[in-house]
Structures are given as C-alpha cells and as structure tokens.
Structure 1
Amino acid sequence: MSKNKRPVYLNLSEITLPYPALVSILHRVSGVALIFSFPFLLPILAHIKNGSFTRYMIFLDSLPGRIILWLILSGISYHIISGIRHLWSDFMAGESLHHARLTAKTTLLCALIASVFFFIHVVVL
C-alpha cells in the first residue's frame, strides 16, 4: 500500500484564495446582504410618498443610520461593479488566468474607491 500524502488538517486561516475566487465569493455575499437590507430600505421608500419620511430622515441623520446607509451603498456598488465584471468576462473577454486576475484586482480597486467615496459623502459630510 502506498502512503496517502494528503494533508490531514487544513488550517483555513493559512489558505489564501486567488483574487478571482475572492471577488466571486464576495459578489455572492453582497447579493445576500442586499436581500437582507430590503427590510431597512422598503419602509423608507414606502413613506416617501406619505409625508412621514421625516422620521426616517432623523434616523438617517444619526451616526448609526449613516453607517447603515454607507454599508448598503457600498454593498450595492460592489455588487454592480462585480456583476459588470462577471458579465464582461462571460460575453466579451477571454478566459485567461491573467485576464481573470487583472479584472478581479480592478474590481476590488473600483469597489474600494466607491466605498471611500460613499463614506466621505454619507458618513463624514
């Protein structure tokens, strides 16, 4: 019998994901997070027409409200940017490893820029 050379214990903190896998997993996580943010957004959108929107504006002017709004906007922007990357790579670009790494890094950079932009305009200002 030959010895099995597979690892017995995998330390998940030592395993590093490649950038394309990280972007794909974060795209799915951001989609699920956006679904869970609907209970926060739907009452706001429903009360815009009724005139009771001031109650929600008071909450959105507080620090927790601004942070929640920033997280939602960052999640939406990441999900859109990552979705564009996935569509572009599916329909127009090749499937080379270099291309996948380059677009994954570009996606993360664009999402970081969008998140910083929303942080400045929502939380700070």
Structure 2
Amino acid sequence: MSDAVREAGKQGRPQFRNIGITDITLKVRQPPAAVVSILHRISGAALFLMLPFLLYLLQESLLSETSYGHFAGMVDNAFVKLILLGLSWAYLHHFTAGVRHLVMDMHLGLDKGTSQKTAVWVFVVSLALTALVGLKLFGVF
C-alpha cells in the first residue's frame, strides 16, 4: 500500500472498536422502557427454560400424597424459596410488561413521555406483587 493511501486513511476515517457487554450495560444509561423490554425478554426466556422442570415437579407432586408431601417439604428450604421468588418475579414482570405491550398494540401510550411512565409502572407493579408473594412465601402473613 502506498504512503499516500495510508496517510489518507489515518486522517478522515473514524475508527470503530469492538465494545463489550459491560460497555453497553454499565456505561450507557438506558431509559426505563428499554430496561423493561430487555427484562421482558429475559423473564420470558427464564420461564421458557424452566417450564419443563416445573411441569415435571407438578407431575411428580400429583402422583400420590407422599410425593406431594415430599415436594411440600422441599419448599420449606430457604434456597428453594428464593428460587420460587425469582420465578414469581419473572412471571409477574413478564405478565405486567405483556399487558403494557398489549395496550401499546392498541396504539395507546406510544409517545415518549407516556411510554416511560408506563415502563416505571411496570417496575412498580411487578416489584410490589413480587414483594407480596415473598411475604407470603416466607410466612409473614
């Protein structure tokens, strides 16, 4: 390559470098609607991947009274309760974000301000419902 071509490339051409996931997640502040959309996808994937396991547990618990008692005893473990709480959050967030998307499919709340407000409401409602499930799961009421 000639020196003239090499010099022209250095002056006017911007350089694009590879960026990592930490650059996207930690350095760029996403709006609430983007975070809700990302978490909607993550919660849907988590529910989809856990579905065979949950159906297996349901099938095994319905076989007899002793198998139901065995699985009821497993739920008393704190680690299992945390897993159930995570799955509850995934379901509740996916459900509330899905309702938000259905309302947006009816062409309601598509402007930027309303979209951000409904995204914040998805967080508030899903976290409040998850807190209620957690309180019930850990025996507060």
Using the size of structure 1 for normalisation, the TM-score is 0.87
In the alignment, what sits opposite 2:132?
117
Q: Percent identity?
A: 25
Residue identity in the other structure for 1:58? G
Q: Which residue of 2 aligns with 1:15?
A: 28
Shift in Å at residue 96 of structure 1?
0.5
Residue identity opposite 2:73 in structure 1? I
Residue 91 of structure 2 is matched in structure 1 by 76
Q: Which has the higher contact order (CA 8 A, sep 6+)?
A: 1
Would you identify which runs of 4 or more consecutive aligned residues in structure 1 move more than 2 Å?
1-12
Tell which deviates more after alignment, 59-68 or 47-56.
Answer: 47-56
Structure 2 residue 60 is the aligned partner of structure 1 residue 47 = yes
Measured in 2, the distance between the counterparts of 1:121 and 1:93 equals: 35
1:58 and 2:73 matched: yes
C-alpha deviations, 1:33-86, integer Å up to 9, x for none?
001222331122112331121111111111111111111111111100000000
Matched residue count: 125
Distance in 2 separating the partners of 1:121 and 1:84: 24
Aligned letter for 1:75? Answer: A
Query: Aligned Cα RMSD in Å?
Result: 2.1
When Rg is computed on C-alpha atoms for both structures, the one with the higher figure is 2
Give the secondary structure class of the aligned counterpart of 1:50: coil
Shift of 1:9: 7.1
Q: Single out whichever of 96-105 and 114-123 deviates more from structure 2.
A: 114-123
**One-letter code aligned to 1:105:** V
* 1:70–1:119 contact (8 Å) kept in structure 2: yes
Question: Mind listing any 5+ residue stretches in structure 2 that lack a counterpart?
Answer: 1-7
Counterpart selection for 1:87 from 98, 102, 107: 102
